[in-house]
Amino acid sequence: MGIRNIIGKEVRELLTPQTLIPIVIVAVILAMMGGVIGNIGEEVTQRPVIGVVDQDEGELSQIAESVLGATARVVHSGTDVAEGLRRTGEGGGVALLVFPPDFSEKILEGEPGTIEIHWIMRGLGMMDSISAAPVEGLIAAVNQAITVTLFEGNVPLNPEVILHPTTRSDTTLVKGKTISGVPPSAIANTLMSQSTMIPILVMMLMMMAGSTVISSMGLEKENKTLETLLTMPVSRSSIVTGKIVGSAAVGLVMAFIYMLGFSFYMRSFQVGAIDLGKYGLALGVLDYLLVGVSIFLALLAGLALCIVLGTFARDYRSAQTLLFPITAMAMIPMFLIMFKDFATVSLGLKTVLFLIPFSHPMMAMRALMFDEYPLVLGGIAYSAVFSAVVIAMAVRIFKSDRLLTGGTPRRQRAARARRRTP
Amino acid sequence: MQAVEVRDLRKDYGAQKAVQGISFDVREGEIFGLIGPNGAGKTTTLRIVSTLLSMTSGSVRVFGHDVTTESDAVRRILSYLPEEAGAYRNLTGRAYLEFIARFFGNGEKVREMVERGVEIADLGERINDKISTLSKGMTRRLLVGRALMTDPKLAVLDEPTSGLDVINAREIRGIIRNSTKGGRAVLLSSHNMLEVELLCDRIALIHEGRIVEAGSPAELKGKYAAGNIEDVFAEVVKWASATS
């Protein structure tokens, strides 16, 4: 009986709407993310979608075209590169394969023919480059078919050319920018720091600063210092601002220490990185300023939210539980942005990402590289409005009775008041 | 000018009526005590006077300032000591006093306030120790020092000697008594009837959110032919319970 009594008490105390609702929300979001990642898996196993431009119209390019027609879903076939890019992009293709005018001629003269691959990269998440992998298989199939043709025709060529009849030149089209000589995998690898480190940094910043401010509210209540603080000759907005700024400073120091270690860890993945500045992807002073503003506003929004959540805290322990919604709000965009690009997720997830203020600094650096200013400025404006509304809400709560009487239903509050008021 | 003017004060927590139309004045230089059984509405009243809670209706003025519309002005001249107050456990006693003093001034004024607080707390060298290492009684002395070091025009003290032993409580009562010099006023609540009798110039007995009796300890003892305030309290509560 005793143990049942204790278990019952623990369950009643720990299983509250405050603890349950965030978990349900996270479960729903994870299920949605599972759907996104599942779709990517399907893309890999399906036939790749491509366009073909045959400017050669020679024997070998015709063979290549027929191989591609059999192994891929060709959404465009023509001779004009610009039109091919447009139509392949519209058709959801991942690459346009161009066979230049001298393709067959060069091979038959004993030089490898060049296949120009124009990659159409839609996003910069880790999962966005996976769709390009099957195209590599198509090139191998084309090579094999040409090799067989050369063997069967007894063409007197250097065996090296017969075995490897083509070379490739990569051009990647990504978010309106053309990056010549670089395949999508190299771009994705180089941008890994933006894809991984920035979201993790923002998440750590939110969790550490958020934990500090929520704990501070819990401790004020547990140590019974809040009543005294509220009778000091200082405005409620100063108390709220002081708590936010103090916690932000502590959070920044903690996140900096954490990221210092993490950046050394991430350097090991930077092999084969390209110089982004060479391709016009470097950030300017204004861009860094916008990233800074975005981080600041997200931090402000997060901490204001923590202050509001902290008013629900009864003590230090309950304050830790209240951090869960903030953790969930930081982790959802972190995983989404690491694996997918804002441009490549569904409308529902786009909405979720935009509404969570922490998403914006996670996306800002990558977006600014590709001149997506509307997304960054929109995020900044939204975060500013979100912060202002939540800070106003926090000040309003600090001006109300709720901090001392609690946020419980009226009947419970009245009962508590009866017990506590001597 | 009255130090505190409370008129027809009402406070509801939903359906629960914690304070039901009480009125009283605290004069300058006076110690006024609110006494009553648990749940009578004493702490709610003190919290409203201290600008911590809003009122449902009525008015409260502190040295002429309305607690609702001029709360900042009230907080500058008032000091509130809650019954279950605590202090920041990671600070030393002196650092805590400095933290509070900086809300009321800077430079030399802060130093003077802190020295006064250190003197009232009378913790010796322990004032430099972390608050987490102080006993309950020591912490209470520190909090009394904190409340009175700013030389407030009105000190609102909820059970000021709660947790103190007899000797310490006696000393603190002396400090409270001295604090009313120069027109300062004290509004306190206490369960300790002896304390109320020794300390207060006038008292009001609250029962179920209403003031059922008020007067000086001597007047009340005479009216109820009682030997002490405890007997007056028991008599009044018994009568109020029977008639409510």
Q: Which of B47, B75, B189 shows the shortest C-beta gap to A232?
A: B75
Residue written as token pair 């972190």:
A334
pLDDT of residue B220: 92
- Sites in chain A below the pLDDT cut of 50: 408-422
- The torsion angles phi and psi of A125, rounded to 5 degrees, stand at -75, 165
* Residue A315 touches partner B, C-beta closer than 8 Å: no
Q: Do B53 and A417 touch (CB under 8 A)?
A: no
Chain B segment 150-179 residues within 8 A of A by beta carbon are: 159
The Cα diameter of chain B in Å comes to 57
- ipTM score here? 0.91
Higher pLDDT, B20 or A311: B20
The CA distance from B130 to A264, in Å, is: 39
Domain boundaries for CATH 3.40.1710.10 within chain A: 48-189
Residues of A in contact with B76 (CB under 8 A): 233
pLDDT at B187 > cutoff 50: yes
Q: Which of B14, B72, B81 shows the shortest C-beta gap to A413?
A: B14
Q: How far is CA A112 from CA A53, A106, A164, A167, B129, in A?
A: 18, 6, 7, 6, 82
Q: Do B75 and A421 touch (CB under 8 A)?
A: no
Residue B126's pLDDT band, with cuts at 50, 70 and 90, is very high
Chain B segment 81-140 residues within 8 A of A by beta carbon are: 81-89, 100, 103-104
Q: How far is CA A168 from CA A121, A180, A251, A261, A416, in A?
A: 17, 12, 49, 39, 76
pLDDT of residue A43: 55
pLDDT at B74 > cutoff 70: yes
> Is the distance from CB of A236 to CB of A394 less than 8 angstroms?
no
Q: How far is CA B226 from CA A189, A192, B205, B236, B242, in A?
A: 90, 85, 15, 11, 19
pLDDT of residue A338: 80
The CA distance from A388 to A396, in Å, is: 12
The 10 Å CB-count burial string (b at 16+, else e) for A242-260 is ebbeebbebbeebbeebbe
The CA distance from A14 to A316, in Å, is: 14
For A55, residues 6+ apart whose C-beta sits below 8 A from its C-beta are A79, A98, A99, A100, A101, A103
* Residue A414 touches partner B, C-beta closer than 8 Å: yes
Whole-angstrom Cα Rg for chain B: 18
* Residue B43 touches partner A, C-beta closer than 8 Å: yes
Angle CA A327–A333–A335, to nearest 5: 95
CATH of domain A48-189: 3.40.1710.10
The CA distance from A64 to A62, in Å, is: 5
The CA distance from A218 to A211, in Å, is: 10
> How many interface pairs between A and B have CB atoms less than 8 angstroms apart?
92
> Is the distance from CB of A384 to CB of A360 less than 8 angstroms?
no
> Is the distance from CB of B233 to CB of B193 less than 8 angstroms?
yes
DSSP code for B225: T
> Is the distance from CB of B209 to CB of B172 less than 8 angstroms?
no
Q: Which of A231, A410, A417 shows the shortest C-beta gap to B78?
A: A231
3-class SS of residue B92: strand
In 3D, which of A318, A336, A340, A316 has the Cα closest to residue A328? A336
* Residue A395 touches partner B, C-beta closer than 8 Å: no
Q: How many residues does chain A have?
A: 422
pLDDT at B58 > cutoff 80: yes
pLDDT of residue A407: 54
The CA distance from A414 to A248, in Å, is: 36
pLDDT at B212 > cutoff 70: yes
In 3D, which of A416, A363, A34 has the Cα closest to residue A201? A363
For A16, residues 6+ apart whose C-beta sits below 8 A from its C-beta are none
pLDDT of residue A268: 61
Q: How far is CA A249 from CA A173, A245, B178, in A?
A: 41, 6, 43
The CA distance from A77 to A87, in Å, is: 9
Could you list the beta-strand ranges (E) of A159-268: 166-174, 177-180
pLDDT of residue A367: 87
Residues of B in contact with A407 (CB under 8 A): none
- The torsion angles phi and psi of A329, rounded to 5 degrees, stand at -65, -25
In 3D, which of A376, A373, A347 has the Cα closest to residue A360? A376
3-class SS of residue B80: strand
Residues of B in contact with A227 (CB under 8 A): 47, 52, 80, 82, 85
Q: Do A413 and B189 touch (CB under 8 A)?
A: no
The CA distance from A367 to A378, in Å, is: 12
Which strands form A113-121's sheet, in the order they lie side by side?
A73-78, A49-54, A95-99, A113-121, A166-174, A177-180
The CA distance from B208 to A19, in Å, is: 37
DSSP-derived secondary structure for A50-94: EEEEESS-SHHHHHHHHHHHHHSEEEEEES-HHHHHHHHHHTT-S
For A135, residues 6+ apart whose C-beta sits below 8 A from its C-beta are A48, A50, A72, A94, A95, A97, A117, A119
For residue A184, how many other CB atoms are within 10 A of its CB?
A: 27
Q: Which residue of B has its CA nearest to A422?
A: B38
The CA distance from A347 to B159, in Å, is: 60
pLDDT at B56 > cutoff 90: yes
For B44, residues 6+ apart whose C-beta sits below 8 A from its C-beta are A417, A421, B11, B18, B19, B53
Residue B175's pLDDT band, with cuts at 50, 70 and 90, is confident
Q: What is the average pLDDT across B218-222?
A: 92
Q: Which of B39, B78, B103 shows the shortest C-beta gap to A422?
A: B39
Angle CA A99–A105–A110, to nearest 5: 110
- The torsion angles phi and psi of A177, rounded to 5 degrees, stand at -110, 145
The CA distance from A102 to A54, in Å, is: 10
Q: What is the average pLDDT across B121-127?
A: 92
The CA distance from B80 to B75, in Å, is: 9
